[in-house]
Amino acid sequence: MSGYMTRELLLFVKSFWYGASLLLLYDILRIFRKAFRHGKILTATEDIIYWVFCAVYLFSKFYQENSGILRAYLFAGVLLGVFACSASISTPFVKCGAWLLNGCKKILGIPLKGVKKIIKRLKNQLFRFKIYVNNSRGEKKEEGSLHPSQKPRRRKCAPGGKHEKRKKQKQPQSNESTSE
């Protein structure tokens, strides 16, 4: 085989590798999406960044390897690499990676629950200190005032509900006298 053909074949194998590695990079992105839920806007932004990265990465690699000459077999190699990786290791890689990341998230979540409780207690203490400072300045504190997160919610009753029936029962009924 000639040196030119060997170089072209090696370039095809490299493009195959580039396609497989880009799919594995996208699989890592999928793992993070499974472990940490994203909204539509964040997902779309991540996808745009990923595809721009892919385009710049492939163009820079093809420019380095083939002096910027784009050939159809290079793109065919990338697509074959994507399909081969997708058919072989992509699904188990995502499942295993998501399982590991969720496990780490649970393990790290245990200390985070304690930290959240401590922060909540500190916020309550800070709120009480604010009330104390405001009272010492002469500002009046409302009777029975609570932290905004501790205020009871008012219930709205449905029309014709039991609260409306009680109101109607409490209202004095006017007795109309009949004249004879």
Spell out the per-residue pLDDT of the chain, length 180, in tens.
688 888 888 999 999 999 999 999 999 999 988 888 888 999 999 999 999 999 999 999 888 888 778 788 888 999 999 999 999 999 999 999 999 988 888 887 777 777 778 888 877 777 776 666 666 666 554 545 555 555 555 556 556 655 555 555 655 555 555 554
pTM of the model: 0.58
pLDDT attached to residue 85? 92
pLDDT attached to residue 180? 44
Q: Are 76 and 8 in contact (CB under 8 A)?
A: no
CA–CA distance, 34 with 94 (Å, rounded to integer):
9
pLDDT attached to residue 20? 94
CA–CA distance, 93 with 87 (Å, rounded to integer):
11
pLDDT attached to residue 24? 94
pLDDT attached to residue 117? 82
CA–CA distance, 40 with 30 (Å, rounded to integer):
14
CA distances to 11, 68, 103, 156 from 5, rounded to whole Å, are 10, 18, 49, 80
8-state DSSP, 179: P
